[in-house]
Amino acid sequence: MAVEPWLGDACGLVEEFRAKTISPSEALDTCLQAMERSSLNAFSFVDEERARAAAADADVELPFGGVPFGVKELEPVAGWPYTEASLVFADRVSEHDATSVERLRATGAVLVAQTTASEFGGINCTSTALHGTTRNPWNTERTPGGSSGGTAAAVAGGLLPIATGSDGGGSIRIPAGFSGLFGLKATYGRVPKGPRVGVEPLTSVIGCLSRSVRDTARYFDACNGFDPRDPLSLPRVAGWEQGLGTNDLAGLRVAILPDLGTAQVRPEVAELVTAAAAELARHAGLRIVEVESHLPALRGEWAMAGQVAFLADLGGKYPECIEQLSMEMRLGLELYRQTYSLEEAARVETYRRNLNEAMADLFEAADFVVAASNPDVAFAAEGPPPSTLPGRDLINEIGFARAVMNNAALTAPSNLNGSPAMSLPLCSLDGLPVGVQVLAAHHREPLLLDLALVAEREVGWPLTAPGAPV
């Protein structure tokens, strides 16, 4: 007898396995069937044979024992394609697992499929020459975001209960906001990025997109902790799930800054975020404080820092591979190759220093800062990210550089600073989700998770898009 697709959270599925209500093999079957029927284009590779073997042998007493998992295609999995969503590496196959993937396997996760991403994680929609366009299950004409777009589409679309993501400029929080999911970007280094990790521009972190707070807490229990192959990874912290709900939030200070003092946000989105933040503050007993933001305006600083790692990734294939790159990646690389100099590098470092000081000022004045996760609801699935808002031409208003970066202006500061932030699916507009972003100081993920738990219990959110699986 066919089993209905599992539309609860991953922890609940483990409970069903242990109660013998459903088996891992049955759950995997329903996922594979839903994936086969789906029109979302959320996957670039499906490993059905190995997944079936893992499900049949699953130890359901393990934390993720038998849970079907997706892995973002920027994370290597041994034997899977490792294209980084680019034609340049269309034929490359990974010879190793990422450290985080090894740790997921050790907790019983059944790795089913690779989820689509934007090319090299470079922009916040998921549409590539290699894999085509990934679609949002809330409205298939819209993007689920990027670069973790396939993960967002799969989880919100009812195809998999949980999947991994990464966030170098908002790539967990942006798709979480666009697709109605919970997404936490942890403190930089929380989950190691090895093996064979470069220094990179010190912005990208690994995590997941999930339907519940406890799923995300369990993921970090599984994957966090120092690994010598990533010398910048942090010491292990235990008890993420066990500690949920143990922090007293009453009296903590929250600043509500829908535009974070640096982005251009659609007024209707700002109003929804402000109202949701006030309601959440009431439920959690937070004290709303007036805080002024002095974050420096984001132009090309985040993108410029990332081009160094991008060029290193291409290695000896550049410049011969230039025609295989998307227009956005090609133009960005060429622009920064022509303009990057010692003076420009110094300007980026000066910007980062000023940003760090401004973020520290925010967190001295407030324990939480609430902003929108995105300036507007999800844009067209094929992209590109818009440089406009309804009725406004941002290029003429604020200049080309700021307008182009506006879609990341709300999220990238936490990446450049390295501090944690999360997106909560608490609002909707035009039939599409609106994410409420909450920022906190370094290492304060337990407070963020407990605030998310209050939101989940007192306000609630749909675990999947209406009509999922799509």
Would you please indicate which residues are annotated as catalytic (active-site) residues?
72, 147, 171
Q: Which amino acid is at 63?
A: P
Q: Cis omega before residue 147 (within 30°)?
A: yes
- Residue 412 CA to its chain's centroid (Å): 12
**What is the edge-to-edge ordering of all strands in the sheet holding 432-439?**
43-46, 110-115, 68-72, 162-167, 205-210, 182-185, 421-429, 432-439, 368-372, 253-256, 287-288
Distance between CA atoms of residues 441 and 445, nearest Å? 9
Token pair 């370094």 in the structure block, residue? 442
How many other CB atoms sit within 10 Å of the CB of residue 466?
10
> Among 385, 213, 370, which Cα is nearest to 278's?
370
The rounded distance, in Å, linking the Cα atoms of 291 and 257 is 8
Contact 455, 424 (CB under 8 A): yes
Q: How many CB atoms lie within 10 A of CB 92?
A: 13
Cβ–Cβ < 8 Å for 454, 284: yes
Q: Count CB-CB contacts under 10 A for residue 311.
A: 15
The answer to whether 169 touches 302, Cβ cutoff 8 Å, is yes
DSSP state of 236: P
Do the beta carbons of residue 434 and residue 377 sit within 8 Å?
Answer: yes
Half-sphere exposure of 272 (CA within 13 A, CB side): 24
Q: Hey, which residues does 208 pair with through a beta bridge?
A: 164
Q: Which position has the token pair 């089913």?
A: 112
**Local structure of 388: helix, strand or coil:** strand
Asked if residue 306 lies in contact with residue 371, where contact means CB atoms within 8 angstroms, the answer is no
* Strands, E assignment, 27-101: 43-46, 68-72
Separation of alpha carbons 255 and 249, rounded Å: 14
Q: To which residue do tokens 């133009």 refer?
A: 331
Asked whether 440 and 448 are in contact (CB, 8 A), the reply is yes
Q: Is residue 98 a contact partner of residue 194, using CB atoms and an 8 Å limit?
A: yes
| Distance of alpha carbon 234 from the chain centroid | 20
